[in-house]
Amino acid sequence: MKAVLICPGDRPAVKALAETEPLVLAPVLGKMLVEYWLDHLVDRGVRHVYLLVSDRVEQVRQKLGDGMRWGLKVELIPQTVEMTIATARAKYRCGDETDWLPEPDDVTVMDFLPGAPELPLFFGYAGWFAAVEGWLPRAASAPDRVGLKKLKPGVWVGLNSRISPDAELRAPCWAGENVLVGAGAVVGPGAVLEDGVVVAANAEISRSVVWPGTYVGELTEMKHSLAQGSMLIDWERGSATRVPDAFLLCPLTDHPGRTPTGRWPGRMMGALTALLTLPLAFYAVLKAWLRGKRAVRRLVAVRPHSTIGSSAIDGLIYHEFTEVKGWLQRWPQLWKVVQGEFDWVGNRPLSPAAAVSLSNDFERLWLKAPIGLFSLADAEACREPFNQEARVHASIYAMRADWRLDLSILSRVLGLRTRRNYLR
What is the C-alpha to C-alpha distance for residues 375 and 377, in angstroms, rounded to an integer? 5
Beta strands 73-78 and 48-53: pairing type? parallel
What proportion of the chain, given as a percentage, has pLDDT over 70? 93
Identify whether residues 140 and 117 lie together within a single domain.
no
120 φ, ψ to 5°?
A: -65, 140
Identify whether residues 238 and 213 lie together within a single domain.
yes
Query: Who contacts 337 (Cβ-Cβ below 8 Å, separation ≥6)?
Result: 266, 267, 269, 270, 343, 344, 373
CATH of the domain at 147: 2.160.10
Average pLDDT over residues 123-148: 93
Of the candidates 222, 219, 248, which has an alpha carbon nearest to the alpha carbon of residue 236? 222
Among candidate residues 221, 251, 281, the one where a domain is terminated: 251
- Which pLDDT belongs to residue 92? 86
- Which pLDDT belongs to residue 306? 66
For the stretch 392-403, pLDDT in tens is 889 888 887 888
Residue 195: inside a domain: yes
Q: What is the sign, positive or negative, of the torsion defined by CA atoms of 51, 55, 57, 63?
A: negative
CA dihedral defined by 224, 221, 252, 152, rounded to 10 degrees?
Answer: -70
Position 421 pLDDT exceeds 60: no
Identify whether residues 212 and 311 lie together within a single domain.
no
Tell me the DSSP string of 98-144: GGBPPTTTTEEE-SS-TT-TTS-SSS-HHHHHHHHHHHHHHHHH-TT
Identify whether residues 289 and 385 lie together within a single domain.
yes
What is the C-alpha to C-alpha distance for residues 32 and 146, in angstroms, rounded to an integer? 16
Query: Who contacts 330 (Cβ-Cβ below 8 Å, separation ≥6)?
Result: 320, 321, 373
Identify whether residues 163 and 96 lie together within a single domain.
no
Higher pLDDT, 402 or 256: 402
Surface-to-core class of residue 141, CB atoms within 10 Å of its CB (0-12 exposed, 13-18 middle, 19+ buried):
exposed
Identify whether residues 141 and 190 lie together within a single domain.
yes
Identify whether residues 409 and 269 lie together within a single domain.
yes
Question: How would residue 254 be classed by pLDDT, with cut points 50, 70 and 90?
Answer: very low
Residue 129: inside a domain: no
Residue 419: inside a domain: no
Residue 421: inside a domain: no
Identify whether residues 269 and 406 lie together within a single domain.
yes
Residue 356: inside a domain: yes
Position 309 pLDDT exceeds 60: no
- Which pLDDT belongs to residue 225? 97
- Which pLDDT belongs to residue 51? 96
Position 108 pLDDT exceeds 90: yes
For the stretch 261-293, pLDDT in tens is 457 888 999 999 999 999 999 999 999 999 999
Identify whether residues 112 and 222 lie together within a single domain.
no
Identify whether residues 221 and 273 lie together within a single domain.
no
Residue 418: inside a domain: no
Domains of the chain: total: 3
Among candidate residues 199, 228, 251, the one where a domain is terminated: 251
Tell me the residue range of the domain where 97 lies. Answer: 2-122
What proportion of the chain, given as a percentage, has pLDDT over 90? 61
Residue 420: inside a domain: no
Q: What is the sign, positive or negative, of the torsion defined by CA atoms of 34, 36, 40, 43?
A: positive
- Which pLDDT belongs to residue 385? 86
Higher pLDDT, 57 or 258: 57
Residue 143: inside a domain: yes
Identify whether residues 91 and 157 lie together within a single domain.
no
Higher pLDDT, 276 or 404: 276
Mean pLDDT, the chain, as a whole number? Answer: 88
Identify whether residues 139 and 117 lie together within a single domain.
no
Among candidate residues 97, 122, 147, the one where a domain is terminated: 122
What is the C-alpha to C-alpha distance for residues 182 and 64, in angstroms, rounded to an integer? 34
CATH of the domain at 50: 3.90.550.10
